[in-house]
Amino acid sequence: MPTSARLPFDPIAEAMRQWRDHGWSEAALGMGVITSVIRVQQILAGRAEGVVRPFGLTFARYEVLMLLLFSRQGEMPLGKIGERLQVGAASVTNAIDRLEGDGLVRRRVNPNDGRGVLAWITDRGRNLAGQATDALNQNVFKAVDLSPTDADTLFALLGTLRARAGDFD
Q: Is 12 in the site for its own copies (CB under 8 A)?
A: yes
Please report the DSSP string for 42-98 in residue order.
Answer: HHHHHHHHHHHGGGT--HHHHHHHHHHHHSTTSEEEHHHHHHHHT--HHHHHHHHHH
Report 82-101 residues binding DNA (CB under 7 A). Answer: 82, 87-98
Binding mask 62-91 for its own copies (x = CB under 8 A): ----x---x-----------xxxxxxx---
Q: Is 103 left (phi over 0), alpha (psi -120 to 50) or beta?
A: left
Q: Is 77 in the site for DNA (CB under 7 A)?
A: yes
Least distance to its own copies from the beta carbon of 82, Å?
7
Please state, in angstroms and as integers, the Cα–Cα distance from residue 44 to each residue in 25, 63, 81, 140, following that order: 29, 15, 23, 8
Least distance to its own copies from the beta carbon of 13, Å?
8
Least distance to DNA from the beta carbon of 40, Å?
12
Q: Is 161 in the site for its own copies (CB under 8 A)?
A: yes
Q: Is 41 in the site for its own copies (CB under 8 A)?
A: yes
